[in-house]
Structure 1
């Protein structure tokens, strides 16, 4: 499972890098073609209207313009695919279909809980009535590694109604993240006890794939334009690798798949 997940991720990255290289090469080729055509036209040479060279001159200018536009277009695509590949490389999102998702989420939860404890401890220290600011400053630097600028901000709130230390919204936001991570862990733990199921409706197969965390629809042939539009509108995407239309598992995905399959079967009648 782990190797399959990482392999799919790496394959996407490799594909984007391949497309970036291909478009970069095409951009360079188009640019070079435009330059080569331009070498045959003397610098500053105007179009000689009525001369036998007029037709060829205009054609060359058109070819130069076309190749330059294509060069710019391919360069833009190369940059786009490079960015896509870089996004995958830097992506730290924990996906539900990652076999190590629960373990990674537990590690993230631990970090968030430790951070929450630190925020509370720092606030208690900043609001202490028994310690002088010099003592508080030293402890914040020595025990929590805070720099002088951060300590100054904590001890000198911007507005008079604010308390010293981290403001309540920071703790509330972190608490919300803790709750969200706990809920995701619970959902994934529940999903671990589920099994992949499949059913046939007419000539269409529906697979509720726990392994891939996808609801998959396998049509016997290419659906009509109307059906494909419905699929795309409701989050289904064609997977060339799996040979099906799919989206992440959910109750909504199940409902929409049943509705779209009815639409498909009605079109066959």
Structure 2
């Protein structure tokens, strides 16, 4: 497990711990609300005009609020549970030091899939007038009985095998991943950049995989709006306004610097 994967595992564990804590708090609040409610006889109304009316109403409102807290805590627990489950489901992150190797494996698998689909289509065309021959040929290629039958059964447009759009989409994915690999390799070869501007410091850090704006203290609202408008977000862990390193991010950073250097930073 590399340091990025370790960081993701720690984040997942932290979210799971938050979910468990909120779940425990919800259960405790629900138990307390139930216990409070048992102090009121079933069906007992508020005694209007009785000296206990105000106290009784306040007590009932307390019970209501406690149940409300229970539901809020349960929502919080569900929120953290969903966030924990989603960790690692976003594909291969550019922050992962093994991203290039993992993407290369994806390209290899997609390329193999492409060749497999093309081979199946060639076999089906070869036995075009003989469905039984098609089925036997597909079985020899390693297809299951069920898969072979589906491949030789015409779809709504009368097509058999893999449709052309399936091969086109797969090829598009290969090209997209190859372009991403090219970008990541270019990022790794970048020299660090450090600029001192008007009221800010700017850096391009290939190791962090970030372009960053740093300020002494919290920048003015107008400056924050400029940064947000150009895709930068505050990172408490880095104490900087950041974007993931890319050509687009660098272009946006230059636009921000032109604005900040042309103003007073206010």
TM-score by length of structure 2 reads 0.89
Please give the secondary structure, in 2, of the residue aligned with 1:222: coil
List runs of 5+ in structure 1 lacking aligned partners: none
1:27-46 correspondence to structure 2 within 5 Å: 27-46=26-45
C-alpha contact 1:204 1:217 (8 A) present in aligned 2: yes
* Aligned counterpart, 2:201: 205
* Aligned counterpart, 2:192: 196
* Aligned counterpart, 1:60: 59
C-alpha contact 1:204 1:261 (8 A) present in aligned 2: no
Please give the secondary structure, in 1, of the residue aligned with 2:141: helix
Shift of 1:267: 5.2
CA distance in structure 2 between the partners assigned to 1:137 and 1:21 by the alignment: 52
Please give the secondary structure, in 2, of the residue aligned with 1:127: helix
* Aligned counterpart, 1:172: 168
Cα–Cα, structure 1 residues 235 and 68, in superposed 2: closer, same or farther, change >3 Å? farther
* Aligned counterpart, 1:103: 101
1:231-250 correspondence to structure 2 within 5 Å: 231-250=227-246
1:120 paired with 2:118, answer yes
* Aligned counterpart, 1:216: 212
Deviations 1:148-204 (A, max 9, x none): 2x3233222134x54421111101100101111111111222222112221111331
1:155 paired with 2:152, answer yes
The number of aligned residues is 265
Shift of 1:126: 1.0
Shift of 1:5: 1.7
C-alpha contact 2:47 2:53 (8 A) present in aligned 1: yes
CA RMSD between the two structures: 2.3
1:4-83 correspondence to structure 2 within 5 Å: 4-83=3-82
Shift of 1:250: 2.8
Shift of 1:30: 2.1
CA distance in structure 2 between the partners assigned to 1:50 and 1:230 by the alignment: 61
Shift of 1:110: 0.6
Shift of 1:66: 1.0
List runs of 5+ in structure 2 lacking aligned partners: none
Shift of 1:104: 0.8
CA distance in structure 2 between the partners assigned to 1:263 and 1:71 by the alignment: 49
Shift of 1:255: 4.1
* Aligned counterpart, 2:85: 86
Deviates more, 1:245-254 or 1:60-69: 245-254
C-alpha contact 2:187 2:245 (8 A) present in aligned 1: no
Deviates more, 1:238-247 or 1:69-78: 238-247
CA distance in structure 1 between the partners assigned to 2:181 and 2:95 by the alignment: 13
Shift of 1:259: 4.6
Deviations 1:225-268 (A, max 9, x none): 33334433433222222111211123443344355456667455
Cα–Cα, structure 1 residues 43 and 199, in superposed 2: closer, same or farther, change >3 Å? same
Deviations 1:203-240 (A, max 9, x none): 31111111121111111101233333443343322222
Please give the secondary structure, in 2, of the residue aligned with 1:13: helix
